[in-house]
Amino acid sequence: MVTFRRALRLDHMQSSSTMAATAAAARLRAEGHTVIDLGAGEPDFETPSNIRQAAVQALEEGKTRYTPASGIAELKQAIADYIAQETGTRYPTNAVIVSAGGKQTIFNALVSIINPGDEVVIPAPYWVTFPEIVAFCGGVSVFIPTHEHDFRLTADMIERALTPRAKAVIVNSPSNPSGAVVPPEAIRDIAELCAARDLWLISDECYYKFVYPPGRPFSAASLPAALRERALVSGSLSKTYAMTGWRIGYALAHPDWVAEMTKVQSHSTSNPTTFAQWAAIEALRGGQASVAAMLAEYQARRDWIVPALAELPGVTCRQPEGAFYAFPDFSAVLAKVGLRDADFAQRLLEEAHVVVTAGSAFGADGYLRISYANSLENLRRGVENIRALIERLG
Ligand code: PLP
């Protein structure tokens, strides 16, 4: 019998807890149960038909071969044009790289700059993948808790956490899991701090388009040139165009950084899927009505679910300004019934077949992340089931 021994660098890596929740939901469905999945970080909409048709056309035209590792020139141009239209900043195409989703973008970005022992400042609650990639690189995550400050990240909070080993700061606005949006002035202050302290800024903007009025999307691409040159803007088509399975993300950054990321990509996955790249051009250049329709639908759901959660006994829920997650504080309920957030989520799954993600997975014990990328009817049933569990336990 062979004993498998994994590499040391994976000793502390956890499987993605959000993906584990999706797998648990799939298992229950396979057993014949009706599952209300409020765990998935995935739009419940179809990819718009113009994008699907563009992929079919690309396949018919034989766009099925390798492309340059960093993506086709036409898509890089479309990304540069899109960012210019959104922000007024024109990046040259050698400052653009296309990857297999925003996740690969962040991976390439960190692998290209982090040496063992380097510190990466990450506001908490955070997307589960950030610290895992930092650890994979041999780096150290320095977390800044924001939940006790109403999720309001400021440059001062970051400055207090900096040591001489700090190498980079990650900002994710709108945030997964909290839905909080960092105001443009704060992003600018953070970028100035990065300039003053010789740090790289990674701005994960995969929910960029999902900011609810009166708020407006803001990209680090809008920063003045002197601040922008040390910022990497990470974007994704996954959420914006309901294209999660297509695996198209991108980064805009200093051309030298992009060159290193391209090197990593050329020896790992090579190019993102060819016909998905051609479809991505249609997504960015075609009509944008579907994005506005999705935003309006998410807003209607948010406006229903946040007050509904806040009405649960012992629960408070802050209004998320973006993304499609509510992040209610269950700590009073959990203290009363003597459970941890993960136990509560597990009971909800087993007893009511409702999937939610425990806040502890995101560095915020006592919270639950509830995705409202689901129908209003399912949201209603989900909240009813949560109420019933609270009553049963209490
Ligand atoms: N960044 C954040 C904050 C996310 O929530 C996600 C997906 O859930 C991603 C990046 C990566 O998405 P993708 O790899 O599908 O582009």
Q: Given this model, what pLDDT does residue 185 score?
A: 97
Helix, strand, or coil (residue 353): coil
Which of 19, 47, 103 maximizes ligand 1 atoms within 8 Å of its Cβ, making it the mutation to test the pocket? Answer: 103
Which residue has its alpha carbon closest to ligand 1 atom 12?
A: 102
- Does the CB atom of residue 179 touch ligand 1 within 6 A? no
Count Cα neighbours of 277 within 13 Å in the Cβ-side half-sphere: 25
Pick the atom of ligand 1 nearest to 18's CA: 8
pLDDT digits (tens, 9 = 90+) for 26-61: 889 999 999 999 998 999 999 999 999 999 999 999
What are 354-375's pLDDT values in tens digits?
Answer: 999 999 999 999 999 999 999 9
Confidence class of residue 25 from pLDDT cuts 50, 70 and 90?
Answer: confident
Residue type (1 letter), 140: V
The two tokens of residue 207 are: 């929910």
Query: What average pLDDT does the segment 313-321 reach?
Result: 97
Residue of 129, 171, 247 to test ligand 1 pocket, by largest number of atoms within 8 Å of CB: 129
Q: Which residues, in sequence order, are bridge partners of residue 122?
A: 143
What confidence score (pLDDT) does residue 139 get? 97
Residue 20 has pLDDT above 80, yes or no: no
d(CA 219, CA 44): 25
List of domains in the chain: 8-46+289-393 (3.90.1150.10), 63-285 (3.40.640.10)
Per-residue confidence band for 21, with pLDDT thresholds at 50, 70 and 90: confident
Give the integer Cα–Cα distance in Å for 114 and 100: 21
Q: Residue 14 has what pLDDT?
A: 81
The answer to whether the peptide bond before residue 177 is cis (omega within 30 degrees of 0) is: yes
* Gap from CA of 206 to ligand 1 centroid (Å): 6
Q: How confident is the model at residue 388 (pLDDT cuts 50, 70, 90)?
A: very high
How far does the centroid of ligand 1 lie from the alpha carbon of residue 103, in Å? Answer: 6
Q: Return the pLDDT at 187.
A: 98
The pLDDT assigned to 38 comes to 95
Name the percent of the chain lying above pLDDT 70.
Answer: 100
Confidence band (pLDDT; 50, 70, 90) for 22?
A: confident
| Contact 102 CB / ligand 1 (< 6 Å) | yes
Compute the distance between CA of residue 182 and CA of residue 82 in angstroms, rounded to an integer: 22
322 lines ligand 1 (CB under 6 A): no
Per the document, the length of the chain is 394
| Mutation pick for ligand 1 pocket among 206, 277, 325, 369 (CB with most ligand atoms within 8 Å) | 206
pLDDT tens string 173-189: 999 999 999 999 999 99
Q: Residue 388 C-alpha to ligand 1 middle, in angstroms?
A: 32
101 Cβ below 6 A of ligand 1: yes
238-272 core/surface letters (b: 16 or more CB in 10 A; e: else): bbbbbbbebbbbbbbbbeebbebbbebbeeebebb
Which pLDDT tens digit goes with each residue over 267-316? 999 999 999 999 999 999 999 999 999 999 999 999 999 999 999 999 99
pLDDT level of residue 12 (50, 70, 90 thresholds): confident
**pLDDT for the residue numbered 342:** 94
Cβ–ligand 1 contact at 205 (below 6 Å): no
Spatial distance between the Cα atoms of 274 and 64, rounded to a whole number of angstroms = 6
Positive/negative CA dihedral, 297, 303, 304, 310: positive
Q: Which pLDDT belongs to residue 23?
A: 81
| Per-residue model confidence as pLDDT tens digits over 87-143 | 999 999 999 999 999 999 999 999 999 999 999 999 999 999 999 999 999 999 999
Ligand 1 atom at minimum distance from 237 CA: 16
| Distance in angstroms (rounded) separating the CA atoms of residues 10 and 6 | 7
